[in-house]
């Protein structure tokens, strides 16, 4: 490489070519993370729904049941746990508030979800709980990892406090986005009563012991996941809860406590899609746009450096050949050997 410009371009070509894999495989795993202060709310509805009337212990159909779910980042707890965990941690204080058609509380279930900010793997620390009960989660909850794969995942079911596979069911289109569709079916499982009940004076912790009436639950859970960010853009559940046996049911085997097809409200679907669309651009910047852009720029600079080198060599060849050529119109060179400048004088 003869020219300074060629050497300069070659150096930059090597720099950008090396920057391409570094951006994808080094920078992305460290820069892509959930912020610890994130706040998100969501409203879901079941229209119609079946709900138990605790006054008569009879199941009745209601026009609508509303579920308000909030996720609030707890920065103070995140900072505390990070000191001992040695990695970036997010703490979400979640609250699921279920309201009847009159707006009155049906049940309230708080959670504390602690997970790795980069991988979304659960992090076990003091305070991890569901409805005041200490748990040790296994698998994901609420959010899939960045760059979600086409495979089954382990998903934590908060109602039963158990982890089970959630199955990948194929790629679909949702609101113009390519998403991965997942399903999980939780079979009928005995679950605890919510600690906060809609009837004053009803102690959920002793309800089953005192009456012999237990709570059972099953659900079919469905998620539409953006594979780039791992965020759900839509979610639904076909949810059923039953109270079984005991004296509380007055001789009946079971009573439906709640049943309904729970869906995200349309305006929250729109807001979620808009948020995910903006966030996926940032993830694609680190996983696709910049790595491929740097690689393309490196190849372009390499090509330009080689072109400059080839052009410089051609010019050098032309100058070298021109130095030994005869100018037009000049006499041809004398083919005779040059003398030493001394000539013999003719004899007299």
pLDDT tens string 274-306: 999 989 999 999 999 999 999 999 899 888 888
Q: Is pLDDT larger for residue 329 or for residue 151?
A: 151
Asked if the structure places residue 165 within a domain, the reply is: yes
**pLDDT score, position 332:** 57
**Is the same domain home to 119 and 173?**
yes
Asked if the structure places residue 315 within a domain, the reply is: no
**Is the same domain home to 291 and 200?**
no
pLDDT tens for 154-176 read 999 999 999 999 999 999 999 99
**Is the same domain home to 53 and 152?**
yes
**Is the same domain home to 19 and 43?**
no
**Is the same domain home to 300 and 220?**
no
Helix or strand or coil: residue 25?
helix
- Diameter of the chain measured on Cα atoms: 162
Name the least confident of 132-136, 200-204, 267-271.
Answer: 200-204
Enumerate the β-bridge partners of residue 50.
Answer: 61, 259
Residues of the chain with pLDDT > 70: what percent?
A: 90
pLDDT tens for 114-147 read 999 999 999 999 999 999 999 999 999 999 999 9
**pLDDT score, position 312:** 72
Give the DSSP per-residue string, 224-257: EE-TTT--EEEEEEEEEEEEESSGGGTT-SEEEE
**pLDDT score, position 347:** 45
**Is the same domain home to 116 and 242?**
yes
Range of the domain at 6: 1-31+280-309
193 and 213 Cβ atoms separated by less than 8 Å: no
The whole-number average pLDDT for the span 200-205 is 80
**Is the same domain home to 190 and 73?**
yes
The whole-number average pLDDT for the span 52-57 is 88
Quote the tokens at residue 5.
Answer: 């410009």
The whole-number average pLDDT for the span 222-250 is 95
**Is the same domain home to 213 and 115?**
yes
**Is the same domain home to 13 and 93?**
no
Residues 6+ apart with CB under 8 A from 5: 305, 308
Supply the mean pLDDT for the chain.
89
**pLDDT score, position 309:** 78
pTM: 0.84
**Per residue in 28-43, is it b (16+ CB within 10 Å) or e — as a string?**
beeebebebeeebebe
How many structural domains compose the chain?
Answer: 2
CA-nearest of 259, 274, 264 to 216 is 259
**pLDDT score, position 316:** 65
Q: Is pLDDT larger for residue 16 or for residue 324?
A: 16
The whole-number average pLDDT for the span 86-108 is 93
Asked if the structure places residue 342 within a domain, the reply is: no
Quote the Cα angle for 310-314-319, to 5°.
150
Residues 6+ apart with CB under 8 A from 240: 217, 218, 219, 256, 258, 259
The alpha-helical segments, DSSP class H, found in 112-167 are none
Residues of the chain with pLDDT > 90: what percent?
A: 69
**pLDDT score, position 339:** 47
**pLDDT score, position 341:** 45
**Per residue in 168-205, is it b (16+ CB within 10 Å) or e — as a string?**
beeeeebeebebbbbebebeebebbbbebbbeeeeebe
**Is the same domain home to 217 and 252?**
yes
pLDDT higher than 80, residue 243: yes
**pLDDT score, position 331:** 57
**pLDDT score, position 320:** 63
**pLDDT score, position 52:** 92
**pLDDT score, position 344:** 46
pLDDT higher than 90, residue 346: no
The whole-number average pLDDT for the span 229-245 is 96
**Is the same domain home to 101 and 89?**
yes
Asked if the structure places residue 4 within a domain, the reply is: yes
**Is the same domain home to 135 and 9?**
no
DSSP state of 53: E
pLDDT band at 239 (very low <50, low <70, confident <90, very high): very high
| Bond from prior residue into 58 cis (ω within 30 degrees of 0) | no
pLDDT higher than 90, residue 324: no
């Amino acid at each position: 490489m003869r020219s300074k410009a060629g050497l300069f371009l070659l150096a930059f070509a090597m720099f950008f070519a090396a920057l391409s894999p570094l951006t994808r495989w080094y920078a992305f795993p460290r820069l892509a993370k959930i912020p610890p202060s994130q706040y998100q709310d969501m409203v879901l509805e079941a229209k119609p729904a079946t709900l138990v009337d605790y006054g008569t212990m009879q199941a009745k159909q209601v026009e609508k049941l509303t579920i308000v779910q909030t996720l609030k980042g707890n920065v103070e707890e995140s900072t505390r746990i990070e000191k001992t965990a040695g990695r970036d941690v997010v703490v979400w204080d979640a609250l699921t508030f279920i309201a009847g058609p009159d707006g009155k509380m049906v049940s309230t279930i708080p959670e504390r979800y602690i997970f790795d900010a980069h991988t979304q793997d659960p992090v076990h620390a003091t305070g991890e709980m569901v409805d005041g009960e200490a748990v040790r989660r296994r698998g994901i909850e609420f959010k899939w990892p960045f760059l979600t794969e086409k495979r089954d995942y382990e998903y934590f079911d908060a109602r039963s406090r158990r982890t089970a596979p959630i199955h990948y069911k194929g790629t679909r289109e949702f609101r113009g986005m390519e998403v991965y569709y997942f399903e999980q079916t939780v079979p009928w499982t005995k679950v605890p009563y919510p600690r906060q009940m809609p009837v004053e004076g009803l102690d959920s912790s002793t309800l089953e012991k005192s009456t012999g009436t237990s709570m059972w639950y099953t659900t079919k859970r469905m998620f539409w996941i953006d594979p780039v960010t791992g965020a759900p853009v839509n979610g639904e559940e076909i949810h059923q809860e039953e109270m079984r046996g005991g004296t509380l049911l007055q001789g009946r085997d079971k009573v439906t406590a709640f049943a309904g097809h729970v869906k995200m409200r349309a305006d929250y679907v729109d807001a979620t899609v808009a948020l995910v669309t903006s966030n996926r651009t940032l993830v694609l910047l680190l996983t696709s746009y910049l790595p491929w852009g740097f690689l393309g720029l490196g190849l372009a600079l390499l090509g330009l450096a080689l072109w400059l080198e080839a052009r410089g060599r051609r010019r050098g060849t032309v100058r070298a050949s021109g130095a030994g050529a005869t100018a037009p119109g000049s006499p041809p060179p004398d083919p005779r050997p040059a003398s030493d400048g001394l000539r013999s004088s003719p004899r007299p």
